[in-house]
Structure 1
Amino acid sequence: MSYDGLWSIGELAGHAGVTVKTVRFYSDRGLLPETARSTGGHRRYGPGALERLRLIRALRTLDLPLPQIRRILDEECARDGTDEVDGVGGTHGAGGGDGGGGALESAVAGRLRDLGSQLTALRWREAALRLVQESPRGVRAERLRLVGALAVPPSTASMVRFWRAWLPARMPARSVAAFLDVAVPPPPEDPAPEQVLAFARLNALTTGPCTGTERFRPAAHTSASVGALAGLYAGLAEAYELAGAQLRRGRPPRPGEALDGFVAAYTGPYGRRDTPDFRRLLAGRLAADPRIDRYWELTAVVLTPPGHRPEPTPGSAHDWLLAALTAQNATRL
């Protein structure tokens, strides 16, 4: 350090363990302003520049972009009550203090989100590669086509479109959102190859124009009012949750709170009271309704890690409840 307490660019680079080119790069971009210029026009830096440079290097190690680093440095300066280099990082720099303010927290949180998405994409690519590697030669081409149609990380957009076309057009938005939450399986963050294949098949099943979905709609859709439809799906959600708990315990279909809630959900759309006659009528109507079994089979695979009991889906819960209703009706004959 010279008599005036300032460093040359080479001295600053030496103290920081970086090249002169690195110091010049950050200086030229306004991240590391010099304190003064020598009579010969050479840059001179105060002691605070070393901590600022170390902070810049630490933030770059975290892969933060330069504009975000600039905002963090500006916030550090404002908090320390300084305009330039000397007050930055002396007590709040890369190695001390409270670790930064809102700009740093926001940048780190955003970077963590980005990395999480990248890691999920890498895990999906790894599982897809393992799927292809483990596939018999006769099905490899088909599976490549299915997996190749997926975005990475995968999207549930095709499933959402399918169900929005399937649901009655006059369904309240809140009821639609609640149904989508349970009907559309989220992609696993760390999938097994069989989960990748099941998700790819779900994507293929629901991709394309959603024409003809009306042929899959249950009879209750055709006659129910807006209020009755909202009540139907709210009631079904509760009944499916109760039935799902029974399925997780491996219990066979049977009467109880889940079945009572299931039947009660349908009383509104059909304008009937819960009576033995209505239960017989309902069992017949539900048995005649079109089915989307393949969708729910694939959904169960997506939701269930290998080696675990299959996770209940609205489809498996519905089947359990319908079986319970059918068995109850048989005992009343």
Structure 2
Amino acid sequence: MDELFPIGELARRTGLTVKAVRYYSDRGLVPPTDRSPAGYRRYDLAAVARLELVRSLRELGLDLGTIRQVLDQELALSDVAAAHAEALAVQIRTLRLRRAILTAVAERGSTPEELNLMHRLARLSETERSQLVDDFLMSVFGSDPVFAGIRQTLTAELPDHPSAEQLEAWVELAELAQQESFRSSVRLMAADYAVVVVRPGTLRERFAQLQRPVDPRWDRYLELLAVVNGWAALRHTG
């Protein structure tokens, strides 16, 4: 018969406390192999290996229910590892975005209101971040097919593994997109574009367009867009 160990020896071999071993044993993750005549739990070498796997999976953040399914071969360890790796990747991207926000706050001396806005932006999912920019572009250019190509070009899309610079640029770009005064300014620019380029109007309309100064925030939006999307720097040339 294989050698059996008391719970204290099992704890020593695995580097866990007796309390932790008893906890996993009570929940059926590492049941005792046998009991001594006095009723004390005893474990074999397979229990040592099983407990070490439990410890490793717990340290990686898996919940007990998932660990039980892996131990009982109801779930493939490779599938669980892949799913957990993706979940961790999402958490890492979120943490990097939050770090970018804190860096921006520290460097720019943001107000509490600006901090609240940036914090809200940091909590957005990938889909929600995309929707935020889409909403901005639809708000200023509308659904006119004339602007379809422009809307697509001006869409900011963070890569799967953005740099700190790209994250900080996205935060600032998102802040700009939320400013109603900026939206109004870009709407006027879009209207000017439609008058002069898309639907040429009267000489008076053209003259009015030429007299309107370009909002400097638009240049900044293009610069930030280039950083986020990994393009060469873009600037307004009109």
- Report the TM-score, using the length of structure 2 for normalisation: 0.67
Q: Is the 8 A contact 1:127 1:192 kept in 2?
A: no
Q: Which residue of 1 aligns with 2:113?
A: 145
SS of the residue 2:42 aligns to: strand
Structure 2 alignment gaps of length 5 or more: none
**CA 1:48–1:289: 2 relative to 1, 3 Å:** farther
Distance 1:73 1:291 in 2: 68
Instruction: Write the mapping of 1:5-24 to structure 2, written as runs, cut at 5 A.
Output: 5-24=3-22
Q: Is the 8 A contact 1:147 1:196 kept in 2?
A: no
Q: Which residue of 2 aligns with 1:25?
A: 23
Structure 1 alignment gaps of length 5 or more: 80-99, 133-139, 223-265, 271-277, 323-333
Q: Is the 8 A contact 2:173 2:225 kept in 1?
A: no
Can you list the C-alpha shifts for 1:277-326, whole angstroms capped at 9, x where unaligned? x9xx9xx5995698874443222342466xxx97116xx2xx3xx5xxxx
Distance 2:26 2:169 in 1: 50
Q: Which residue of 2 aligns with 1:130?
A: 107
Q: Is the 8 A contact 1:196 1:302 kept in 2?
A: yes
Distance 1:67 1:45 in 2: 22
**CA 1:193–1:129: 2 relative to 1, 3 Å:** farther
Distance 2:150 2:217 in 1: 15
SS of the residue 1:191 aligns to: helix
Distance 1:45 1:60 in 2: 20
Q: Is the 8 A contact 2:94 2:123 kept in 1?
A: no
Identify which of 140, 156, 161 aligns with 1:166.
Answer: 140
Paired AA for residue 24 in structure 1: R
**CA 1:4–1:194: 2 relative to 1, 3 Å:** closer
RMSD after superposition: 4.5
TM-superposed CA distance for 1:19, in Å, is 1.0
Identify which of 69, 84, 93 aligns with 1:116.
Answer: 93
**CA 1:194–1:311: 2 relative to 1, 3 Å:** same
Question: Which has the larger helix fraction?
Answer: 2
Q: Which residue of 1 aligns with 2:154?
A: 183
Distance 2:221 2:113 in 1: 20
**CA 1:296–1:27: 2 relative to 1, 3 Å:** farther
Can you list the C-alpha shifts for 1:137-171, whole angstroms capped at 9, x where unaligned? xxx64xx5334312252754544322223334464
Can you list the C-alpha shifts for 1:52-76, whole angstroms capped at 9, x where unaligned? 211222222223333333343344x
Distance 1:29 1:152 in 2: 41
- Report the TM-score, using the length of structure 1 for normalisation: 0.51
Distance 1:186 1:102 in 2: 29
Distance 2:21 2:181 in 1: 53
**CA 1:203–1:65: 2 relative to 1, 3 Å:** farther
